[in-house]
Structure 1
C-alpha cells in the first residue's frame, strides 16, 4: 500500500511539474500518445512524459529514478530499437522540435524531437544543409548519434561528423554539455554511441553550403534490374562525390526496378551524369522531392535491416536482384542498394562508427498492413541480408537495424571501441538506466 501511495503521489507531482503532458494507462489520449512506428511493436509504458523542454526531461528522469522505473526515450519516433517498453517511463521528445539556424556561423541547434524534415525546412532558405536521413520522418538526434548515413554523406560526410555539441540529461537527472573541449570523452562516445549515455535534448551541427540539390528517379521493368544496378554502379564509381542515390526494387501494381540518382548541385549536371541510365528503356521518370518520396512507404507494421558491403561484384548484383524477386506483395516493400564512400569514408576514423569503410549498403525495408503477413515479411528481410553476406564488411550501421543480438551491436561499435565506450557508460550511466537501445554495458 505504501509503495502504491508513493507512486500515486509521485505521478501527481509529475503531472503538476511538467509543462508538457503526462499519460498513464487509464488516461484519455494514452493510446494515441504511445503510438509508435507500427502495430508490430505493441507495448504499454507505465507512464508517458511528453516533454516540452529540457527541464521537463530532468523531472521525468528524476521521477523514474525515484520509482525505480526503466526509462525509454522517443525522439523523432522512428527506429526499431527501444522506444516502447512495457512498464517503463517513456520520455517522449516529440514536442521538442525547435530548429534554430545561425547562418553566419553555418551551424544549427536542433532539439531532441526534431525530424530530418524539420531540419531540412529550416536550413533550405539559407542555402545550407547537413547530412540528413533519407527518410524525412526520422528523428535527427537518434539518427546523428547512431552515425547517420544519408543523401549527402558522400559529399559532406556522415551526419555525426557534423556534430559540434550535445545537450544531455544524464541518468542522475543532471544536465550536461559535451563538445570537443567540454567532456571530450563523452563527446567521443556520442559519435556513434547513440542513446546510451543520456537523453539528448539538443544537438548543434555544422552546416554546409548547398544552393542546389537535384534528384531523378527512373523506373524500369523488374527484369532490367541487373543492368540498371551495373550502370548505376559505374556512374558512382567514375562520378564525383556529389553523386549519390540508390537502386531499389518496389511494387507499384507490378514489380519494378528504380534508379534514384542524386546530385549536390545543378539539375543540368545531374542529367549529364544520368545519361547512361536514361539510355536504358524505362517506363517512368520522376524528379525532385517526388522522386525521393517513393523510397519509403508507411504501413501499420514495419521491419527493416541492413548489411554493409566491402564491394559490389557482378555476382552480388545478381543476388541482390534475385532477392528482390522474392519480395512479398502487396505491401510497401522496398529493397534498396545505397552507395557509401566519398567523404563518409574520409571522415574521422577515431569515432566508434566502423561502417564508414564500407562501399555499399543493402537495406531491405518491409511495410505491410495484415498481421497474417508478419512471418513472411520478417523472413524476407532476414533472407535479403543473408543473401549478400559473402561480401559483407563486418561493420554494421546501427541506425538501420533493430535488436539483432550482441554480435551485431559489437560490429556496429567496433570491437576495438567497445571497452572505451563501456568506461564512458560507467561514468555517466553506471546502473545502465538507458538500456533500451543498442546497449553498451557499463564495465
Structure 2
C-alpha cells in the first residue's frame, strides 16, 4: 500500500509534510505547549475503525513505526513519533446502558464528557481527574482517578476492549476472549501493541453527596499534614480521597505565606449525613495552625473538574513526573515539600496522595498495571517562556533523584518517560517481562514501539 492508496481508502484525512497544513496539524497533536522535536512522515486523522485498520496496514507495509494519539496529554509527547501518527480524535462515541450499568465508549471520549453523561443516569466510574484527557491513554495506563480507593484503578473496571493489532485485523479482548491482549490492555500504556478502538466499562452507582473540606497550612507544616493524612487514611472508609497540594499560596493567603500545603479531603458519600460524619472525623484529627479552613463544601463532579482545570492553563509549557512510595517511604510528602518550595515557576505545584488502608490491603488483579504503593506523588512544572525550559525540567528531575531512595516505581500515565528506566519502572519486573514477550508475539515488526521504548530495549550496534 502506498500513500496515494491510503488517501483513497481513508474516510478521514491523511496529511504529509509537503502539505501547507502539516505544521499546524503536527503542533495540534500535543496538548503541552512544550512540543517534541519529532516530525511524522504521515498523520492519519481516523474517522472510524476502518481508517484505523488502513493506517496500521500502511505502517506495517511501509516498515514505519506507528504512534497513537487520543488527546495528546502524555507530557513526554509520546503521541508524536517519526513514522505514522494515528489521531483517534474523531472516534468519540459513547453509549450508556443504565440497566446493565455498562458504557461503550470510543478512545477519544474525554473524562469530563464521559463522567457527565454517566452522571445523567446516576452512574459513575473512576474517570480521570482532568476533564480534557481522553480515555485512550488514561485507561491504557491504568487510570488513577476519582474515588479510586473505593472503585479501584480504572482499567480493572474495563470489561472488554476492541483492538486493531499489527496485522490490521480487529479483535475483541476480555477475560474469556483473547486473554493475553486483555491482560496487556489493562495498564501497558505506551507499551501496548495495538490500537484500542472501543472500551466497554463497568459502571457504579454515582455517590449523591460528594463533599469536600480544605485545610491550608504553611508549607513548613507539610510534615504535620502528612502525619495527619497517614493517620486519617487508617481510620476512614475507602471512599475518602485525601490529597496534599503543595503550591504557591492563593491570592487571599499570599500575605500570610509564599508556599502552602493544602490538605483536601473529598468524601464520595451517598448521603449528607455520611459525608458530614466522615469529614467531622477528619477535621477532629487535623493539626492546629491552619491559615484557612473551608469545611463541608458540596463538590459534585462538575465542581471537582472545574477546580482541577484552573491549575492546568492551556498553552503553557509542562514537565511532569510521578512516584509511588513504598513501605519505607517515611516523610515522603514532607521531603517533597522541601523541593516544591524551590520551584522556579510560581505556577508549578506538587500533589501527594495517601491511599486508604482497604485499597492497600486488597491484591490487584493480574494485569499489566502492576505498580502501586502506599503514597503517590506527582510534580508539575508549569511555565510559559521557552528560555526557562532547562530550569523547570531540571527542577522536576532533581526531585526524582532526591526521592529515589523512598520510591518503588512510577505511574506511566504521567511519568517523565524521557528519563532512563522511568518506563520500565512503571511496572513490576514480572509484568515488564511479560509485556516484552507479548510485544514480540503480537508486534514482531515493532511498529507500535516508541523511541522511549526502543531506547530501553535495543542494544547499540557493535
TM-score by length of 2: 0.85
Deviations 1:333-357 (Å, cap 9, x if unpaired)? 111101235336525342232323x
Which stretch of structure 1 is more off in the superposition, 298-307 or 406-415? Answer: 406-415
Equivalent in 195, 202, 206 of residue 206 of structure 1:
202
Checking the alignment, whether the CA contact within 8 Å between 1:160 and 1:192 is kept in structure 2 is: yes
Distance 1:161 1:325 in 2: 36
Equivalent in 41, 53, 58 of residue 35 of structure 2:
41
After superposition, residues 380-395 of structure 1 pair within 5 angstroms as: 380-392=395-407, 394-395=408-409
Q: Hey, which bits of structure 1, 4+ residues long, moved more than 6 A?
A: none
Q: Does 1:307 align with 2:311?
A: no
Other-structure match for 2:216 = 219
Checking the alignment, whether the CA contact within 8 Å between 1:157 and 1:344 is kept in structure 2 is: no
**3-state SS in 1 of match to 2:453:** coil
Q: Does 1:262 align with 2:270?
A: no
Q: CA deviation at 1:390?
A: 2.5
Q: Does 1:156 align with 2:151?
A: yes
Distance 2:104 2:288 in 1: 43
Q: CA deviation at 1:309?
A: 0.6
Q: CA deviation at 1:382?
A: 1.4
After superposition, residues 5-404 of structure 1 pair within 5 angstroms as: 10-34=2-26, 35=28, 36-42=30-36, 43-79=38-74, 80=76, 82-86=78-82, 88-195=83-190, 196-212=192-208, 213-251=210-248, 252=250, 254-265=258-269, 266=272, 267-269=275-277, 271-276=279-284, 277=286, 280-283=289-292, 285=294, 288=299, 289=303, 290-294=306-310, 296-311=312-327, 315-330=331-346, 332-341=347-356, 342-343=358-359, 346-356=362-372, 358-392=373-407, 394-404=408-418
Q: CA deviation at 1:384?
A: 1.9
Structure 1 unaligned regions, length at least 5: 1-5
Distance 1:303 1:68 in 2: 32
TM-score by length of 1: 0.89
Structure 2 unaligned regions, length at least 5: 252-257
Deviations 1:69-121 (Å, cap 9, x if unpaired)? 221110122112510123x2110011112221111111111211122112211
Change (3 A) 1:107 1:269: farther
Deviations 1:105-157 (Å, cap 9, x if unpaired)? 11111211122112211211122111122222222122212222122210011
Which stretch of structure 1 is more off in the superposition, 151-160 or 11-20? Answer: 11-20
Change (3 A) 1:165 1:20: same
Other-structure match for 1:3 = none
Other-structure match for 2:440 = 426
Change (3 A) 1:216 1:16: farther
Change (3 A) 1:437 1:229: farther
Distance 1:344 1:216 in 2: 23
Matched pairs, number: 430
Checking the alignment, whether the CA contact within 8 Å between 1:72 and 1:90 is kept in structure 2 is: yes
Distance 1:30 1:383 in 2: 36
Other-structure match for 2:255 = none
Distance 2:7 2:326 in 1: 51
